[in-house]
Amino acid sequence: MCRLAAYLGSEITLSQFLLEPEHSLVKQSWAPNEMREGTINADGYGIAWLSDNRIPCTYKNVLPIWSDTNLEGLGHSLKSKLWLANVRSATPGQGVNETNTQPFIKGNLIFTHNGCLSPFDNTVKADFLHILSNDFRAEINGNSDSLYLFALLQEQLLSHQSLSDAIVATINELKIFCNNNIKALLNIVISDGEHLYASRHAINAKCPSLYYLLNDDNVSIASEPLTPENEWIAFPEHTLISFNNSSVISQTNL
């Protein structure tokens, strides 16, 4: 399991997004309130944002987020209208390295996942590889379930016009080969640079926590509320919600 957060709206610093909230993602790395599987998120972290020319960028570190001496300087230096971040609690057997560390980027897509597939054994990997084309198989350069999920999403995008439809199709494919034998926790947040798409879903398990907060010119998403404000709204279980910078665009049952 992991904890994640995302932001879309008026430009803010990395510090405002990641460090300053009372229950920031940094705090959630060592003192999460609602994480059922695991106790801390000490297996690295990553952040993603848009550069001035709107190219997705990432910074990753395999150290616990609280021990990264670069973070304070980055927090005051980096500004963006879009942020995604993940603090990682690695599933046993999935290496602690930068390749497996989220968020992942491809083209204009930024992807992060809070959850797991269990077991994630050779049979499950073979099911993924059976669906994927050679191009997407070749791009899986790590061994985390999240990398396989991202590859499957990109495969689905080839045959679906919208990112929302591709996410739904990805989850439907997972339902087929999970059957009753595989537990899948599928809190996923994706951005195309203009919107945020977030799912709260699980197969053969209880959904992990996920919340959102809408303001006049921004939206925040997080595994746990970042602030004590009571305006945070819990995602309904088994839903996909699409956001622009100030409102919900659509909600789909999964």
Positions annotated as catalytic residues are: 2
Closest to 4 (Cα-Cα) out of 153, 208, 195, 175: 208
- Compute φ and ψ for 110, nearest 5 degrees: -125, 130
Crossing angle of helices 163-178 and 145-157, rounded to 10°? 130
Identity of the amino acid at 97: N
Q: Return all residues near 188 (Cβ < 8 A) that are at least 6 apart.
A: 111, 112, 113, 114, 115, 149, 167, 197, 198, 199, 201
Q: Return all residues near 123 (Cβ < 8 A) that are at least 6 apart.
A: none
